[in-house]
Amino acid sequence: MTASESLPDLEWQPYFLRGSRSRMKQFVVRGDVEYELCAEGGNHVVRRTERKGGRVTMTETARGSQRDAEAVWGRIVHGLG
């Protein structure tokens, strides 16, 4: 099962840093996919990194309030996607 299949209702967009830096608050690995809960530029965001065949793809979801990002984060960590 791929990361996209395990969280079908989340909309993942290409990741772009907003602000001068990203501060990782929490980190979890699910199979070959890394997820990070980050704070950056006054927002929170869930970042996903997939490594396949030497290629690295970073996407994001739930950019906005801490509460919204943490709600999505909880689904990822507890496998409720």
Residue 5 has pLDDT above 60, yes or no: no
pLDDT of residue 71: 94
pLDDT digits (tens, 9 = 90+) for 24-67: 999 999 888 999 999 998 899 999 999 988 899 999 999 999 99
Cα-based angle 25, 29, 33 (whole degrees, multiple of 5): 110
pLDDT of residue 3: 45
Q: Provide the residue ranges of all domains of the chain, joining segments of one domain with +.
A: 3-77
